[in-house]
Chain A
Amino acid sequence: MHGVSPDPTDIDQTVRRASRPTDNDIIEAIVESGQHGAPTATADGVTDGESGREHARDAVRDATHGDDQARPAGGASVSILPVAANRRRRRPPDDPRRSDVDEWGRSEHMRSIVRRLYNPMYRYWFRVEWEGLEKIPTDGGALLIANHAGAIPPDAPAIMHGIEEELGRPVYGLADYFFRTVPVVGTLWSRTGGVPAHPDNAYRLLHDQHQLALVFPEGTKATSKTYSDRYRLRRFGRGGFVEIAMKAGVPVIPIAVVGAEESMPILFRMGGVAKALNLPYFPVTANSLVLGPLGYVTYLPAKIKLRVLDPITFDVEPGLERYSRSRVMDEAEAVRAKLQDALHDMLRERRSVWFG
C-alpha cells in the first residue's frame, strides 16, 4: 500500500513511519487513506471563514511533509511577546499576513514546534497506545469526548498529538475560559489549538468548518478529584456536548483514557491557597511530595492507553434552536455509562500502571 503513492513527499513519510516502533497495520491503512482523503474532503467543505479550510489543508501538509520542514520561511517577527509565531508557508505577494495564526488563534507552525517537542514524551515517557483509531473519521466534523484526569491533565495533549500525527488532521481542544486570563499560558494554549469552550465556538468548528473538536464534559470536576476517586467519572455537566452534537449534526466519539490518573495523582487539595492565588483548585500531588515544586512540571511515567469507542449519532433533526432537555440528559448519561464501562474494561485488562 505504501509503494503506490505517486507523490514523492510520501516517501520520507513512509521511511519515517517505518522507523516507528509500534504502529500496527490497521492504523497504517487509516493513515494512508487519511492523507489522501482529507485534502479533498476539506476542500469540499462549506467553510465561511476563509482560513478554516486553508489551515486544515496546511495541517495535512504538515503531517505529510514531516517535522523537518517546519522551520519558518519568513523573517524574524518584531514581537517582544514570547509566543508570536512566524509565517511558515509561502504567501502570495498581495497577502498582508505575516503569521499563520488562524481565526481561532491556532498556528500550524507553533503546533508543529510543540509536536516536535512533545513527541519524545508521547513515545518514550507515556508510551501512548491507541486502540480503534480507525473509528475517528478522516473528514467531516466530529465531537471527541474523553475522561479527564491528573492535576495538570496530560490527556488533552496526548489525544491531540496522537490524532494529528496519525490522521494528519487538526484537533481543536475546547477548554475553560480560565486559561485565557493567564499571561503567556493562555496565548500559548490558543496558538497550539486551544479554543474557549463556548457553545457557539463548538458549533462553528463542527458544523461550519467540519473540524474535530475535543471536549472533556466533566471539566475541572475531574482534574481536581483526588486519587481515591480515580476512574470514577464525574457528572457530565448539563449535557451541553450532546446538544451541540445534535445541533451540528455530527457524531460524538468517546475516547477512554487510562493512565492519566496515575501520571499526576492528587493527594489532597488546598482550598485556601487556591482562593488566594485565584485558581480553580490547588492540588498537592504525589509528584510534588517527591520532587517539590518540580513535581508540578513532571509527570510520573504511567503508561497511557487510549481506546476510541464507537461513534454515537443522534436520531434528531440538526440545526434546531433547542432540544428536549430530558432527551439531552438521557443521551449524555448513556454516553457517560459507555465510557465508564470501557474504563472498567480497560482496567480489568491492565497488569501494571507503568507497563500497561
Chain B
Amino acid sequence: MGRRVLITGLDTFWGGRMAQALELEPDVEMILGLGTNDPKVPLERTEFVRSDQKYSILSRIVRATQVDTIVHTFLETNSIGVSSRVLHEINVIGTLNLLAAAGSAGSSVRQVVIKSSAHIYGASESDPTWFREDSRRTSPVRNRLERSLIEVESLVRDFTVDNPHLVVTVLRFAHVLGTDIITPISYDLRRRVLPAIVGFDPLVQFIEEDDVVRALEFATGKQLPGVYNVAGAGKLPWSEVASIGGAHLLPLSPFRPQAFAAPLRRAGVIQFPPEMESFVRFGRGLDTSRFASTGFEYRYTSAGAVESFARANNLRRATGSGSGAPEYRYEQEVEQFFRHSPAVVRGIDG
C-alpha cells in the first residue's frame, strides 16, 4: 500500500506546492489537503477538504481516511496583516489540534513533518555566527511571531516525547526567496527598496522556494526524525541582497528603526514586521551540516536564491507573471468531475 498523506494549508503557497510535488511521486497513494479557502494552484489528484483554521474536524478525517503522514505547512511566518488572535489560532491552536488528532488512540499516523522557521532563534549581537539545532536563543523574545513559533515547537517537542513510535520531523527554514513566494523581503524587493539600518550590513542566508518543497518532500520520504536547519550554502551581506535583487537600500535610523519605517509600512510601500528589525541589524546564520549529512542536496545557494527571485522579477516586470504560468481558478464542480466521474478514463496520461 502506498503512502497516504495529509497536507495542511492547501490553499496557501506551501500547501499547494507540496501537494503538486507529492502528486508526482508514484508511491504516494492518496493526498488530502485541508484549507480554509479554495486551492490556488492546479492539482490533479489531491482531495480538498474545507476546514476552519483550528482543524476541529481533523480527528474524524484522520480516522476516516487512514492517513499515515501529516505534512504541516500551515504556519504563519509573517506577522504583517495578521492580528495577534488569528496568529495564535493558526500557529498554536492549529498545531495543538493537529497533534492531538495525530496522537489520538487508534490513529493511523506514523509520521508528522512540520515546516518551522529560523525565526525561533531570534537575532542578537551575542548570537553564534551559526546556530546549531540545539543552540539556545541568546535574546529574550520580543515579538508575537517568534513567541508563537516557539510555542509551536514546544508543543511538537512534547508530542515527540509522548509518541515515541512516531517519526516527528521539524525543518527550520531560513528566509525564503524565489520565483513566486511573497515574504516581507520579496515584497520590498518587488518595490525596488530594501529596508536597512544605517551602519549595519549583516550577513544573511536564504533558501529557494523549490528547495523548501524538495526538503519537505525529502524529509517525508526518508522518515527523518528530529530537528534540522535548512538554508542554502553561503552567506551574503544585506547590501548585496539589494544589489542582486535590483533594489535600493532604504536607510532607517539605528535608533527606533520601526518608528521610521511605520509610515511607509502603513502606506504599503514596505513590509517591515517587528521580527525583521533585529534580523536586519545582526543577521542570522544556520549551521546546516546536520541536514546535509542526511544526503539532501540543494539546488540553490543563498545568493542563488536571491538571483532566482531577481530573474523571476525581471520576467514579472516584463510580462506581469513571475513564472510565466497562467492564472488558476479553482472550480469545485470541474475538479470533482475529473476526480470522480466514471466518464473520465484514468491512467492514460498525467
Question: Chain A: residues with CB nearer than 8 A to chain B?
Answer: 48-51, 77-84, 95-99, 101, 103-105, 177-178, 180-187, 190, 195-196, 198, 200-201, 204
11 A-B interface contacts by CB (under 8 A): A79-B201, A81-B199, A96-B304, A97-B236, A97-B240, A104-B129, A177-B126, A183-B197, A183-B254, A190-B203, A195-B129
User: B175 to chain A: closest CB distance in Å?
Assistant: 16
6 nearest A-B pairs in the assembled complex, by CB-CB distance: A183-B199, A96-B307, A79-B239, A180-B125, A184-B199, A84-B239
Binary interface encoding of chain B residues 230-256 relative to chain A, with 1 for a CB under 8 A from any of its CBs, else 0: 000111110110111001110100100
Docked Cα-Cα span, A51 to B235, in Å, equals: 9
User: B199 to chain A: closest CB distance in Å?
Assistant: 3
User: B296 to chain A: closest CB distance in Å?
Assistant: 15
Residue of A48, A80, A97, A200 touching B129 (CB-CB under 8 A)? A200
Residue of B200, B234, B235, B310 touching A186 (CB-CB under 8 A)? B200
Cross-chain contact A50 with B233 (CB below 8 angstroms): yes
Docked Cα-Cα span, A51 to B203, in Å, equals: 14
Asked if B225 is at the interface of the complex by the 8 Å CB criterion, the answer is: no
Cross-chain contact B236 with A84 (CB below 8 angstroms): no
Docked Cα-Cα span, A95 to B285, in Å, equals: 21
User: A83 to chain B: closest CB distance in Å?
Assistant: 6
Docked Cα-Cα span, A3 to B288, in Å, equals: 47
Residue of B nearest to A78 (CB): B243
Cross-chain contact A96 with B129 (CB below 8 angstroms): no
Asked if B130 is at the interface of the complex by the 8 Å CB criterion, the answer is: yes
User: B228 to chain A: closest CB distance in Å?
Assistant: 16
Cross-chain contact B128 with A200 (CB below 8 angstroms): yes
Residues of B within 8 A of A181 (CB): 125
| A103 and B125 contact, Cβ closer than 8 Å, known pairs A77-B243, A98-B243 | no
Residues of B within 8 A of A77 (CB): 239-240, 243
Cross-chain contact B198 with A81 (CB below 8 angstroms): yes
Residues in B207-246 with C-beta less than 8 Å from chain A: 233-237, 239-240, 242-244
Residue of B nearest to A179 (CB): B125
Docked Cα-Cα span, A101 to B239, in Å, equals: 11
| Among B200, B236, B237, B301, residue most surrounded by chain A Cβ atoms (within 10 Å) | B237
Residues of B within 8 A of A101 (CB): 203, 236-237, 240
Docked Cα-Cα span, A181 to B138, in Å, equals: 14
Binary interface encoding of chain B residues 289-311 relative to chain A, with 1 for a CB under 8 A from any of its CBs, else 0: 10000000000010110110010
Residues of A within 8 A of B203 (CB): 101, 103, 105, 190
6 more A-B contacts (CB under 8 A) besides A51-B234, A183-B198? A78-B242, A99-B240, A178-B125, A187-B199, A196-B126, A198-B126
Cross-chain contact B128 with A198 (CB below 8 angstroms): yes
Asked if B282 is at the interface of the complex by the 8 Å CB criterion, the answer is: yes
User: A267 to chain B: closest CB distance in Å?
Assistant: 30
Residues in B192-206 with C-beta less than 8 Å from chain A: 196-201, 203
Cross-chain contact B130 with A84 (CB below 8 angstroms): no
Docked Cα-Cα span, A181 to B278, in Å, equals: 11
Residues of B within 8 A of A190 (CB): 203
Cross-chain contact B125 with A79 (CB below 8 angstroms): no
Docked Cα-Cα span, A204 to B249, in Å, equals: 32
Docked Cα-Cα span, A96 to B307, in Å, equals: 6
Residues of B within 8 A of A201 (CB): 128-130
Residue of B289, B304, B310 touching A48 (CB-CB under 8 A)? B289
Residues of B within 8 A of A186 (CB): 199-200
Cross-chain contact B243 with A196 (CB below 8 angstroms): no
Residue of A nearest to B308 (CB): A96
Residues of A within 8 A of B127 (CB): 196, 198
Residues of A within 8 A of B242 (CB): 78-79
Residue of A48, A81, A97, A183 touching B303 (CB-CB under 8 A)? A97
Residue of A95, A103, A185, A187 touching B235 (CB-CB under 8 A)? A103
Cross-chain contact A204 with B130 (CB below 8 angstroms): yes
Residues of A within 8 A of B306 (CB): 96
Docked Cα-Cα span, A83 to B233, in Å, equals: 23
Asked if B132 is at the interface of the complex by the 8 Å CB criterion, the answer is: yes
Cross-chain contact B249 with A50 (CB below 8 angstroms): no
Docked Cα-Cα span, A97 to B196, in Å, equals: 19
| Among A82, A95, A97, A201, residue most surrounded by chain B Cβ atoms (within 10 Å) | A97
Residue of B nearest to A97 (CB): B303
Docked Cα-Cα span, A100 to B301, in Å, equals: 15
Cross-chain contact A81 with B196 (CB below 8 angstroms): yes
User: B40 to chain A: closest CB distance in Å?
Assistant: 29
Docked Cα-Cα span, A190 to B200, in Å, equals: 10
Residues of A within 8 A of B254 (CB): 183
User: A92 to chain B: closest CB distance in Å?
Assistant: 12
Docked Cα-Cα span, A60 to B126, in Å, equals: 31
Residue of B200, B251, B307, B310 touching A80 (CB-CB under 8 A)? B251
Cross-chain contact A79 with B200 (CB below 8 angstroms): no
Residues of A within 8 A of B234 (CB): 49-51, 103
Docked Cα-Cα span, A94 to B243, in Å, equals: 16
| Among A81, A105, A196, A198, residue most surrounded by chain B Cβ atoms (within 10 Å) | A81
Residues of A within 8 A of B236 (CB): 97, 99, 101
Docked Cα-Cα span, A195 to B303, in Å, equals: 21
Cross-chain contact A80 with B237 (CB below 8 angstroms): no
Cross-chain contact B249 with A81 (CB below 8 angstroms): yes
Residue of B126, B197, B237, B248 touching A105 (CB-CB under 8 A)? B237
Cross-chain contact A84 with B200 (CB below 8 angstroms): no
Residue of B nearest to A76 (CB): B243
Cross-chain contact A79 with B130 (CB below 8 angstroms): no
Docked Cα-Cα span, A77 to B196, in Å, equals: 15
Docked Cα-Cα span, A277 to B128, in Å, equals: 25
Cross-chain contact B243 with A200 (CB below 8 angstroms): no
User: A313 to chain B: closest CB distance in Å?
Assistant: 26
User: A199 to chain B: closest CB distance in Å?
Assistant: 8
Residue of A nearest to B233 (CB): A50
Residues of B within 8 A of A180 (CB): 125, 282
Cross-chain contact B129 with A198 (CB below 8 angstroms): yes
Residues of B within 8 A of A50 (CB): 233-234
Docked Cα-Cα span, A103 to B197, in Å, equals: 20
Docked Cα-Cα span, A142 to B239, in Å, equals: 32
